[in-house]
């Protein structure tokens, strides 16, 4: 009878701990290093909030990959527009062509996010910046490296881009806006002293 009372009292203490909440009172018991995320049922690791935000922001490779993904989405849409619609960089209607490129790039990015499960709202801003940079600055890359664009598009397309745009500009709806030029380098000669002659 003594052991029965002991078991009953231990059971009542356990019920009190469970009612109070605390460690090891949930349906699942996690045993591991304190501060690490417990695995989820689906096999993934739950979001750590601020810690994961810092990890993503501190990873230059992740930001660079997201930026390049956005830029490549615009390139893919423009390549599609050239191959299947026969349009140049700005097309007959520059504003419509730019809107088409932007909408197509957003659709490509959405499909990539779903298919590759590379979600995360933290990667969205670099992707959008990459797409925007390519939308307004792709012609500058054509000036820098025409050979890859001749292979992807055609030499006639590259020639049209070179004739229709200017280097070191932003192209918005068919209008080029010049980027600020770097300041000329200062000469390294020391300043000569001025000689004042008093007569």
Compare 75 and 92 and report the one with higher pLDDT. Answer: 75
Task: Give the pLDDT score at 11.
Answer: 86
Residue 38 has pLDDT above 60, yes or no: no
Task: Give the pLDDT score at 73.
Answer: 92
Task: Give the pLDDT score at 118.
Answer: 66
Task: Give the pLDDT score at 93.
Answer: 80
Residue 58 has pLDDT above 70, yes or no: no
Task: Give the pLDDT score at 33.
Answer: 66
d(CA 174, CA 138) in angstroms, rounded, equals: 13
Compare 68 and 113 and report the one with higher pLDDT. Answer: 68
Residue whose C-alpha is closest to residue 173's, from 102, 104, 94, 93:
94
Note the pLDDT tens digit of each residue in 139-189: 888 888 889 988 888 888 888 888 888 888 888 877 777 877 777 766 677
Residue 104 has pLDDT above 80, yes or no: yes
Domain spans of the chain? Answer: 52-175
Task: Give the pLDDT score at 76.
Answer: 92
Of all residues in the chain, what percent carry a pLDDT higher than 70?
Answer: 72
């Amino acid at each position: 009878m003594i052991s029965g009372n002991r078991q009953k009292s231990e059971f009542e203490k356990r019920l009190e701990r469970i009612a109070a909440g605390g460690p090891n009172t949930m349906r699942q018991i996690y045993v591991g290093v304190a501060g690490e995320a417990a695995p989820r049922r689906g096999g993934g690791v739950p979001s750590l909030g601020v810690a994961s935000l810092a990890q993503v922001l501190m990873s230059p490779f992740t930001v660079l990959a997201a930026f390049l993904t956005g830029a490549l989405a615009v390139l893919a849409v423009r390549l599609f527009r050239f191959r299947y619609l026969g349009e140049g960089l700005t097309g007959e209607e520059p504003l419509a062509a730019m809107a088409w490129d932007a909408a197509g790039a957003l659709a490509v990015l959405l499909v990539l996010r779903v298919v590759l499960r590379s979600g995360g709202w933290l990667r969205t801003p670099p992707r959008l910046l990459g797409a925007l940079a390519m939308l307004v600055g792709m012609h500058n890359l054509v000036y820098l490296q025409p050979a890859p664009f001749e292979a992807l598009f055609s030499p006639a397309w590259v020639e049209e881009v070179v004739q229709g745009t200017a280097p070191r500009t932003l192209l918005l709806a068919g209008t080029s806006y010049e980027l600020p030029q770097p300041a000329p380098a200062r000469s390294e000669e020391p300043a000569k002293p001025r000689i004042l002659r008093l007569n």
